[in-house]
Amino acid sequence: MFEQFKNLLVNKLKVSPDLITPEATREDIELDSLAVVELSIMLEAEFGLQVTDDELLEAENVGAMVALLEERGAKI
């Protein structure tokens, strides 16, 4: 699951793959609030997951975002 999420960040939001670790915060990977909104929309469009930008913003790091997706039943 982490690798698929990482690929989404790299390919769609142009985040440097070297920055993405489960412990990385949004600031570490340079993901501003607008990018989080885009990510929320992409997750719904590509995977049918309804995760709000607020939920993603509340996640303390990439690992927490992945856990949230897994909780919602993501099969990516």
Residue 71 has pLDDT above 70, yes or no: yes
* CATH 1.10.10.10 holds for 2-71: no
pLDDT (average), residues 17-33: 97
Higher pLDDT, 1 or 11: 11
pLDDT (average), residues 64-74: 88
Going from N- to C-terminal start, the domains of the chain cover 2-71
pLDDT digits (tens, 9 = 90+) for 44-64: 988 888 999 999 999 999 999
Task: Convert 5-58 into a string of H (helix), E (strand) and C (coil).
Answer: HHHHHHHHHCCCHHHCCCCCCCCCCCCCHHHHHHHHHHHHHHHCCCCCHHHHHH
